[in-house]
Amino acid sequence: MKIVVVGATGLVGQEILSVMEERNFPYEQLYLVASSKNVGKEIEFRNKTHTIIGIEEACNLAADVAIFSAGGGTSLEWAPKFAEKGTIVIDNSSAWRMDPTKKLVVPEINGHVLKIDDRIIANPNCSTIQMVMALAPLHVRYKLRRIVVATYQSVTGTGKDAVQQLMDERSGVSGNKVYPYPIDLNALPHIDVFLENGYTKEEMKMVNETRKILGDDSIGVTATTVRVPTIGGHSEAVNAEFHKNLDLKEVRSILEATPGVVVMDDVKNNVYPMPILSKGRDEVFVGRIRRDESQPNTLNMWVVADNLRKGAATNAVQIAEFMMEKNLVY
């Protein structure tokens, strides 16, 4: 097995390597790719020194799997070239997510849609992944009608420079700014660019990707996404309306039985999910589970996950594992 990680020096790229090591991901040869300014630099991984190579060189290797985490422009240009060589490309950017010819996959939910001829596979948006992980099993039982979600997203979702901006502001240091306003002691209702309909691209990603992953365009989805000065992970306040009547005890049982989901809901003892608890974890944590008393068949819950892990790196590695387990790699 030849494996390529594109964007290996970024936050998600580094997390991909960590996840591969933790899960003992199988490979014979590993190649790390980064921007031209990093070519030639060395990274230690599994007691071996790996020299960063350029993307063209990596493409010509005709690897079995390439995990991309280098932005949409890179993916649009290079993913098809890798695919032409027979490489399975698992892409973390938004470039291919809504392409009707490409699968958008969370393995626990819709891994079954993957086929041997899928050469470019899209990894969903981090905020979408954690929400659908919690809602998909409930959709099977009760059928979703409408979702209203507000997110509280970590600066790590923007990248290393955003983390540095937060740390600079916290330390009173003047430095590079990636946000239009201070992020420390603040909350920015602005993730990605604003669209003509008044929503941001991040908000519309949640709308469109949720429907595609769940395979149901009838579900109403509306989102407000907010950047907050946290590092451990993203949090979401989810209000979900279903077609069928809910039983809270059954809801909890369904979620507790869902692989990859941890119910953390004991409010009498102040037990509920928080970003600080999700950091470095692969699970999606669900708490504050309660009925919406303002209308029937509606549920409120609080969903938290490490956006660099299940929201990006872990899900991508899981897709690769799934393809290998099902003998979909050739």
Task: Verify that 14 and 31 share a domain, yes or no.
Answer: yes
Shared domain check, 214 and 119: no
Examine the domain organization and report whether 160 and 272 are in the same domain: yes
For all residues of the chain together, what is the average pLDDT?
Answer: 97
- 272 found inside a domain: yes
In a domain, residue 330? The reply is no
pLDDT tens sequence across 164-189: 999 999 999 999 999 999 999 999 99
CATH number at residue 220: 3.30.360.10
- What is the arithmetic mean of pLDDT over 149-162? 97
267 occurs within a structural domain: yes
pLDDT at 210 over 90: yes
Let me know if 139 is a catalytic residue: no
The predicted structure's pLDDT at residue 330: 77
Q: What is the pLDDT of residue 152?
A: 98
| Residue-by-residue DSSP string for 162-203 | HHHHHHHHHHT------SSS--TT--BS--S-B-TTS-BHHH
Res. 248 pLDDT band, cuts 50 70 90? very high
Alpha-carbon dihedral sign for residues 317, 319, 323, 325: positive
Nearest in space to 118 (alpha carbons), one of 105, 104, 134, 103? 103
From the list 71, 42, 40, the residue with the least C-alpha distance to 53 is 40
In angstroms, how far is CA 138 from the centroid of its own chain? Answer: 20
Please report whether residue 17 resides in a domain.
yes
d(CA 67, CA 139): 30
| CATH classification of the domain holding 92 | 3.40.50.720
The residue range of the domain holding 169 is 127-307
Catalytic-residue membership of 234: yes
Is residue 314 pLDDT above 80, yes or no?
yes
Of these residues, 50, 59, 112, 126, which one is catalytic? 126
Q: Which of 50, 112, 234, 243 is catalytic?
A: 234
Average confidence (pLDDT) over 268-292: 98
User: Is 110 found in the same domain as 189?
Assistant: no
Write out the two tokens for 116: 């041997």
Note whether 252 and 293 are same-domain residues.
yes
At 164 the three-state DSSP class reads helix
State whether 90 and 238 are in the same domain: no
Please give the average per-residue pLDDT across 277-301, as a whole number: 98
